């Protein structure tokens, strides 16, 4: 299994999940803005043959190629069921799990990535600085909604969102709030503590060592 990634981008989610899973893997560092002639550039013709967008992550396992982070997380979790990255819960609880994953990707992360694009990822002529305040407004609104979604499943007395066991939802929340903290968004203290707690997991520490 081979994972192509870059530092603390979305690919870190997959790297962390691989460390949690215990699966054997190879990590290949990619430069998003490198010279296309360089083999480690996301614009290199060989990499574009795997990921036409020239982005990360990309997971390759035998004949399978995946380029969406949540699909990669689910694949890793299913290849290592004993890790319980996909929680073993009842159908109704699993529906809430799926709802939370969708919300994190579609709502909580969206203003962070919009901010990142308009700060450094887009070509300078395509950036709109005025949208940065809008992104902060949207993030604050998403955090308020998250509070409501987690009310029945999460409290400061529990370490995890589902079944009192670390799973994909915890990983996604920690990684997303890590982005928010690094991008200097206002993050409630309880979610800073959530990020800190999960980033202290041995698997997260090992994943960080891979990219440093």
Residues 6 or more apart in contact with residue 192 via CB below 8 angstroms: 177, 181
CATH number at residue 29: 3.40.30.10
Instruction: Write down the pLDDT at residue 151.
Output: 80
Domain count, the chain: 2
Rounded Cα distance between 68 and 208, Å, is 20
95 and 196 together in one domain: yes
Instruction: Write down the pLDDT at residue 73.
Output: 98
Domain boundary residue among 20, 50, 84? 84
Domain boundary residue among 26, 57, 84? 84
The answer to the question of residue 124 being in a domain is: yes
Instruction: Write down the pLDDT at residue 156.
Output: 47
The answer to the question of residue 12 being in a domain is: yes
Instruction: Write down the pLDDT at residue 121.
Output: 75
Which tens digit of pLDDT belongs to each residue from 39-86?
Answer: 999 999 999 999 999 999 999 999 999 999 999 999 999 999 999 999
Instruction: Write down the pLDDT at residue 93.
Output: 87
Q: Which domain holds residue 43?
A: 2-84
Residues of the chain below pLDDT 50 = 156-157
């Amino acid at each position: 299994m081979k994972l192509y990634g870059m530092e603390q981008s979305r690919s870190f989610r997959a790297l962390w999940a691989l460390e949690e899973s215990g699966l054997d893997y190879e990590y290949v560092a990619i430069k998003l803005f490198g010279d296309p002639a360089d083999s480690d550039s996301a614009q290199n013709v060989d990499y574009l043959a795997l990921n036409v967008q020239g982005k990360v992550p990309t997971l390759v396992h035998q004949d399978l190629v995946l380029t969406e982070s949540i699909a990669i997380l689910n694949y890793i979790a299913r290849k290592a069921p004993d890790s319980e990255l996909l929680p073993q819960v009842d159908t109704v609880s699993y529906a809430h799990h799926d709802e939370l994953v969708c919300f994190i990707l579609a709502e909580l992360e969206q203003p962070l990535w919009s901010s990142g694009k308009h700060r450094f990822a887009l070509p300078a002529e395509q950036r709109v600085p005025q949208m940065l305040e809008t992104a902060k407004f949207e993030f604050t609104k998403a955090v308020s909604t998250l509070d409501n979604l987690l009310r029945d499943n999460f409290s400061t007395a529990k370490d995890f969102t589902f079944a009192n066991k670390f799973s994909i939802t915890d990983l996604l929340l920690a990684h997303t709030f890590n982005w928010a903290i690094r991008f200097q968004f206002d993050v409630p203290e309880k979610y800073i503590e959530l990020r800190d707690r999960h980033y202290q997991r041995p698997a997260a520490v090992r994943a960080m060592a891979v990219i440093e």
